[in-house]
């Protein structure tokens, strides 16, 4: 009799797990931070897919037709907004499934001065390539994006709203901690000048009122003479600076900078999946690096 | 039976007269009934399409033009509106906005610029190839594909907007991604593209070499303030391929890009009512209405005309009946000697009366059968006939 009960219970468990797997919402995202937020909030109710290859910058990635077709079939498509994924404007996706996670703070979008736009004729309208898009590096905005994801999941699956809300609140708590940590670090020396390679730090800079100067250096390339000259102007009057890199720079660059009194730290935007850890571990490491820069 | 036999022999002998009488009676009976059948079918088809569209939003003006352009892809273009209207609906969270831009044509077929949601809304499925995927793709209605003789993998060039406007819309070579399954509606004759592709056809989006990085200064008008102004020499691609897709982009504020209408699919009835309420302000430049109401109004006008036609047919029918009575009366006069002969042969007056009545019944019966046959054919083909008439 006991064996029969165990068998029946086992069958019920197996059946319910199959039902559960079959009913998971399919959620596609355009970058890793959104995938992480969706996984945290949706938990086992969602199957999150972020199909960009690990070695590409998702903002400039162009999926193939098969991948686009997969996006079209998803239950939800999470967009970053701020013109992040350039490919979105060139494909056909169902608006009913798209969620612009930064819609709530559209009025706070930043324009980067790093991009050269173009127009046709001197009076022509500019092509809009100049929006900064790494919104999640301001953790107060990241929290709003996470909230948009929670609301979208709750609309899709109202019966699980309580669970989603609980998960969102836990994630929001983690993002609040990160926010508080960076705020406290920057507060030590609000006028401290930092260097940032690339325009990915615009939201970090604005959100925490840092004094970050952007230079257009790539971690994988040795800087050119003109880039060194650009740096020289910024260095005038500043000593003991730190440069933030979006990934590990060349040792040569690090060494050359050190000779100029500039130390290098990595502050990864984590737009794509990290080799190890997750979004939180990467951000905590970033905050550790930032703390070093504000020592 | 004898009277029937005699009557039959009489009508057989007088074929010409019988045929004329049968044809006249059949025609006068079939005409109003066939007209009724066709009009009923027209009403049904027009209403089905209209009733399946919950709410239509467009710029204030002719609601009929808006409905005809949005639902039946008529080439009368309504007053344009902008993408801001889509965001306005989206912000309410009352309905899913499905924008439409029905302005251009490709070899006589309307190009319908819309979003992916349209296909799910209209329950359109792909029969060959695949759905819209990238900029420059098009998907053909079943009838359009058949008439154009093209299918997935083929190219289709959009028609110039105005042959006399050399600076106007340039033709765009589109790639046929797929063909839809027959839908028995205006969708069968349309060429569907993504809304952004329609804007590319208009010239609001285009592709060219990257002028911010080009070394060809002959295409550069001016470099200043983080912007490069290109001149007219810069060549714009006339076809979107996977190689040059990255170079395609849009200029200016996309919230003011044009649309012809928006289909709003409310979440529920209450949301629909609330959404309609948002457009009641007299100062609003946009209007929201139920397409079924507009078509209903149109049909009522058509039915008024039908009533006039019915009246005319009734008068003509009455005249025809009087003529037939006259023919029978004159025929009786002409057959006076024949009737007298039958009477002298011993046939009673009642029998003669039955015989004459049988002739009339026979003629009416044959007319009746023919009438039913013709109506049967009309009813069987009414759907296809009306569809061809409506869709052109």
Instruction: Find the angle CA(B93)-CA(B97)-CA(B102) to the nearest 5 degrees.
Output: 165
Q: Does B204 touch chain A (CB under 8 A)?
A: no
Test the B interface: residue of A77, A90, A98, A199 with most B CBs within 10 Å = A90
Residue contact A126–B134, C-beta within 8 A: no
Provide ipTM, 2 decimals.
Answer: 0.82
Most confident of B123-137, B215-229, B366-380: B123-137
CATH 3.40.50.1980 domain range(s) in chain A: 23-116+126-179, 185-293
For B180, phi then psi, to 5°, come to -80, 155
How far is the alpha carbon of B237 from chain A, nearest alpha carbon, in Å? 15
**Domain A23-116+126-179 of CATH type 3.20.20.140:** no
Contact list in A for residue B245 (CB cut-off 8 A) is 62, 90
SS3 A277: coil
Which pair of structure tokens corresponds to residue A135?
């919104």
Q: Closest Cα partner for B157 from B122, B91, B108?
A: B108
Q: What is the pLDDT of residue B313?
A: 76
Report the relative pairing of strands B55-59 and B81-82 from DSSP bridges.
Answer: unpaired
Residue contact A91–B134, C-beta within 8 A: yes
SS3 B79: coil
Q: How far apart are CA A291 and CA A268, in angstroms?
A: 14
Q: What is the pLDDT of residue A11?
A: 61
Most distant pair of Cα atoms in chain A: their distance:
87
Of residues B254 and B95, the one with the higher pLDDT is: B95
**B230 and B55 Cβ atoms separated by less than 8 Å:** no
Residue contact B133–A91, C-beta within 8 A: yes
Tens of each residue's pLDDT in chain A, 295 residues: 666 666 655 565 555 544 454 589 999 999 999 999 999 999 999 999 999 999 999 999 999 999 999 999 999 999 999 999 989 999 999 999 999 999 999 999 998 765 555 566 555 555 555 789 999 999 999 999 999 999 999 999 999 999 999 999 999 999 999 999 999 999 999 888 888 877 789 999 999 999 888 877 777 777 777 777 777 777 776 665 888 998 888 888 888 888 888 889 999 999 999 999 999 999 999 999 999 999 8
Q: What is the percent of chain B where pLDDT is above 90? A: 43
What global pTM score does this model have?
Answer: 0.80
Q: What is the percent of chain B where pLDDT is above 70? A: 89
Domain topology for A185-293: Rossmann fold (3.40.50)
Tell me which residues of chain B, numbers 254 to 283, contact chain A at a CB-CB cutoff of 8 Å.
254
Indicate the pLDDT class of residue B220, thresholds 50, 70 and 90: low
């Amino acid at each position: 009799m006991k064996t029969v009960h165990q068998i029946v219970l086992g069958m019920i468990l197996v059946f319910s797990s199959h039902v559960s797997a079959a009913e998971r919402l399919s959620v596609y995202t355009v970058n890793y931070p959104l995938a992480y937020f969706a996984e945290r909030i949706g938990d086992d109710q969602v199957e999150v897919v972020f199909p960009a290859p690990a070695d590409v910058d998702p903002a400039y990635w162009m999926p193939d037709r098969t991948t686009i077709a997969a996006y079209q079939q998803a239950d939800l498509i999470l967009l970053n907004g701020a013109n992040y994924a350039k490919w979105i404007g060139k494909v056909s996706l169902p608006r009913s499934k798209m969620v612009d996670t930064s819609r709530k703070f559209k009025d706070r979008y930043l324009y980067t001065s790093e991009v050269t736009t173009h127009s046709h004729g001197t009076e022509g309208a500019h092509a809009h390539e100049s929006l900064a898009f790494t919104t999640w590096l301001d953790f107060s905005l990241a929290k709003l994006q996470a909230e948009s994801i929670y609301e979208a999941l709750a609309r899709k699956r109202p019966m699980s709203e309580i669970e989603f809300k609980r998960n969102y609140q836990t994630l929001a708590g983690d993002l609040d901690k990160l926010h508080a940590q960076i705020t406290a670090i920057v507060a030590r020396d609000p006028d401290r000048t930092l260097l940032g390679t690339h325009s990915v730090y615009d939201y970090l800079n604005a959100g925490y009122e840092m004094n970050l100067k952007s230079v257009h250096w790539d971690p994988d390339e040795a800087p050119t003479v003109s880039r060194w000259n650009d740096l020289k102007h910024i260095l005038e009057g500043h000593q003991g600076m730190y440069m933030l890199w979006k990934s590990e720079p060349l040792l040569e660059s690090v060494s050359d900078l050190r000779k100029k009194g500039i130390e290098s730290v990595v502050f990864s935007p984590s737009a794509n999946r990290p080799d190890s850890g997750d979004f939180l571990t990467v951000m905590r490491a970033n905050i550790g690096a930032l703390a070093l820069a504000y020592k | 039976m004898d009277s029937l036999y005699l009557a039959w022999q009489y009508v057989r002998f007088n074929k010409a007269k019988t045929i004329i009488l049968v044809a006249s009676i059949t025609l006068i009976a079939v005409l109003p009934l066939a007209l009724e059948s066709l009009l009923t079918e027209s009403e049904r088809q027009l209403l089905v399409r209209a009733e399946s569209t919950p709410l239509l939003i467009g710029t204030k003006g002719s609601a009929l033009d808006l409905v005809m352009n949005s639902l039946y892809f008529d080439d009368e273009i309504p007053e344009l509106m902008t993408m801001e209207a889509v965001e306005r609906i989206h912000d309410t969270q009352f309905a899913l906005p499905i924008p439409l831009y029905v302005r251009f044509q490709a070899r006589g077929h309307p190009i319908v610029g819309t979003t992916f949601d349209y296909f799910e809304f209209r329950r359109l499925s792909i029969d060959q190839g695949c759905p819209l995927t990238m900029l420059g793709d098009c998907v053909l209605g079943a009838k359009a594909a058949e008439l154009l003789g093209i299918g997935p993998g083929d190219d289709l060039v959009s028609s110039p907007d105005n042959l006399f406007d050399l600076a106007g819309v340039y033709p765009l070579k589109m790639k046929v991604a797929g063909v839809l399954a027959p839908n028995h509606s205006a969708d069968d004759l349309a060429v569907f593209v993504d809304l952004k592709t329609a804007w590319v056809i208009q010239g609001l989006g285009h592709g060219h070499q990257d002028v911010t990085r080009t070394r060809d200064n002959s295409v550069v008008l001016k470099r200043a303030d983080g912007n490069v102004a290109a001149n007219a020499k810069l060549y714009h691609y006339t076809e979107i391929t996977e190689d040059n897709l990255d170079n395609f982009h849009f200029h200016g504020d996309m919230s003011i890009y044009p649309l012809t209408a928006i289909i709003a699919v409310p979440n529920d009835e209450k949301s629909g009512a609330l959404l309609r309420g948002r457009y009641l302000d007299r100062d609003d430049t946009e209007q929201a209405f139920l397409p079924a109401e507009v078509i209903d109004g149109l049909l009522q006008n058509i039915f008024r005309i039908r009533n006039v036609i019915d009246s005319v047919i009734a008068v003509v029918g009455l005249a025809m009946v009087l003529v037939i009575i006259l023919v029978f009366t004159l025929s009786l006069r002409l057959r006076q000697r024949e009737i007298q002969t039958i009477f002298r042969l011993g046939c009673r007056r009642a029998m003669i009366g039955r015989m004459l009545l049988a002739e009339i019944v026979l003629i009416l019966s044959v007319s009746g059968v023919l009438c039913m046959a013709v109506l049967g054919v009309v009813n069987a083909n009414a759907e296809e006939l009306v569809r061809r008439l409506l869709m052109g």
